[in-house]
Amino acid sequence: MKKELTEIASSVREAVASISGSPKAGEVVGKGVDGAPSYNADAVAEQAAKRKIDELGLGLNILSEESPYVDNKSGQTIVLDPLDGSHNLIRGIPFYSVSIAIGSRSLSGVQYGLVMNLVTGDTFYAEKGKGAFRNDELIHVKKFSEKDSLFFVYMGANASNNAYDISRKSGMVRSLGSAALEMCQVAMGKADLFYLRSVDNAHALRIVDIAASTLILREAGGEVFDMTGNLLDMNFDINDRKSLIAVGDKSLRRLAL
């Protein structure tokens, strides 16, 4: 399945390359299935992904950020975020990705996951039970060291007050605008933690945002928890939203409590 997922991701990369940072990329062309504005960049990315999925003849159901659920009567579903980090692409900030997962029913049922950095082409991939890879090289999380720690913490108007408290527990803090890519940095040991806790459920993450990166991080030795400290699981439902803490060293679970 890696070949097929890579082809889908590469088609998205090719499609959005020419519009990054352009006024055209930020044109509002409609609404996603959750009612949020859909930008031209999102539409271009999704159209490219779906064209390639059709070409490959996979016959799987499709759950995507931008359009209604496609029920192909399959036991497996493609969980697709065609452009994670839309605002980065629109502004010409070089940090955005495509996220593709395949599985059944819920996050715990994801079998394959791929995240591609659409700027560099770096590709993160995992198959359940077989480890996680970046550009075909095995990756693994790192042991937490407070002296050399780096956290990704979502900040801004919709962030919980807890975000500031968490940020003060690390020597360095970043927020780069693509949850999938930030979680992959944790998976490869470049960072220790990704934390997103929103003020309300309407601004939390959806399954399409993190289905692939959760599998990648877990296969790299890390873990993803909800805000009660339980293992994160989410339904294959675009309306299911959760705040989360994704860690390399599982001892950092305590920060979610």
Task: Provide the annotated binding site for Mg(2+).
Answer: 65, 81, 83-84, 209
Q: Could you tell me which residues are beta bridge partners of residue 138?
A: 133
Torsion of the alpha carbons at 154, 81, 206 and 238, rounded to the nearest 10: 160
CA distance 80 to 67: 10
Is residue 56 within 8 A of residue 40, CB to CB? The reply is: no
| DSSP alpha helix (H) spans, 39-102 | 40-56, 86-91
Instruction: Please choose, from the candidates 213, 220, 249, the residue with its C-alpha nearest in 3D space to the C-alpha of residue 232.
Output: 213
Tokens for 248? 């390399």
Going by C-beta distance under 8 Å and a sequence separation of 6 or more, which residues neighbour residue 131? 138, 219, 220
Are the C-beta atoms of residues 198 and 227 closer than 8 Å to each other? no
Query: How far, in Å, CA of 117 to CA of 122, rounded?
Result: 5
Short-list 89, 136, 86, 87, CA closest to 114? 136
Q: Which residues are annotated as a binding site?
A: 65, 81, 83-84, 209
